[in-house]
Amino acid sequence: MIASRIRQIRKALGMSQQAFADAVHSKRSTINGYERGVSLPSADVLKILYEEFSVNIAWILTGSGQMFHGKSTPLGITESMAAFVRECVEPELSELRAMIENLTAASSSPPGRAPIHKDEPDSSGEAREAGPEYLPDEPVIQVPYGEGLAAGEPREAVDTGETYPVPLHLIRGDRADYYAAKIKGTSMVSAGIPDGGIVLLRRQERPVDGSLMVVDYQGSTTLKRLHLDNGGKWVLLYGDGSGRKIYPHDGEWAALAEFVVLLWP
């Protein structure tokens, strides 16, 4: 990453963050941001590194070549080039910023963890995989929590206005995309999701073939496995061994969220 290469340059030059900031006419907090990956070096900083410290700009941006060049033909670093680089790595930066926000939220969230449950038999007598264990010191974040998410005939779920604690490592990207819901019904037991189970969901409006997804069907919600048949039509599959299917017409259904993991039991 660019962040680690900026740090390597500073270390190779034998400078502290403050000394490095002074050398490139910047602030220590700005250099700290570069090295944590929450911001990118400006065109002016890249120009100084190239002209005054013989740093290979291609190596900073891509990791290719050597860290230092031989003062050959000057490389023109323009703001448009820097803008292009920012655009290329913005998705990576956005994810990193979201992770930092999640960590901040986790540290300020009220204490609380879901119980740790070991594998236990379901109604069929077979063992099912337990949800993720909450490690003793692992931070959690609170996500919105709803009840009555149908695993059976579609019905309206209820937003309780409450939250549910989720291990931080399960959250990828924007924490606002995640929520937990309690399942009502037994149509997904073959997929390991029992009646009364609590699942973690991530908002996803694009249907994904083969995925367990929450869908809005005729004004009600349900959790089903999606299948795209050979004719290009979407089918909602029950997961209770019955082989039942729902064949929704275009315009009467929409994907809402994708199943992430069973939180409990």
In a domain, 190, yes or no: yes
Per-residue b/e over 142-159, b at no fewer than 16 CB within 10 Å? Answer: bbbbbbbbbbbebeebee
**Whether residues 155 and 72 fall in one domain:** no
Q: 178 near 201, Cβ under 8 Å?
A: yes
Same-domain pairing of 124 and 208 = yes
Q: Considering the domain boundaries, does residue 115 fall inside one?
A: no
3-class secondary-structure state, position 243: coil
Lookup: tokens for 164: 């549910």
| Residue 80 located in a structural domain | yes
In a domain, 221, yes or no: yes
- Band of the pLDDT at 118, cuts 50, 70, 90? very low
Question: For 79-92, how does the pLDDT look when each residue is reduced to its tens digit (9 = 90+)?
Answer: 555 555 555 555 55
73: which residues sit within 8 A by CB, 6+ positions away? Answer: none
Whole-angstrom distance, CA of residue 102 vs CA of residue 135:
17
Domain count, the chain: 2
Whether 224 and 144 map to the same domain: the answer is yes
Q: What is the CATH number of the domain that holds 83?
A: 1.10.260.40
* Domain assignment of residue 113, yes or no: no
In the chain, % helix, strand, coil (3-state, to 5) comes to 30, 30, 40
Q: Rounded CA gap, 113 and 99, in Å? A: 20
pLDDT tens digits along 146-179: 988 988 777 777 777 888 999 888 898 888 899 9
Dihedral (CA of 54, 56, 61, 67) sign: negative
| 102 and 131 both lie in a single domain | no
Residues 184-223: tens digit of each pLDDT: 999 899 888 999 999 999 999 999 999 999 999 988 899 9
Tens digits of residue pLDDT in 37-66? 767 888 888 888 888 888 888 888 888 888
Which domain covers residue 202, as residue numbers?
120-264
pLDDT-based confidence at 109, cuts 50/70/90? very low
Residues 62 and 193 in one domain: no
Do 72 and 149 fall within a single domain? no
104 and 130 within one domain:
no
Backbone angles phi, psi at 126, to 5 degrees: -95, 145
Average pLDDT in the chain: 78
Residue 77 has pLDDT above 50, yes or no: no
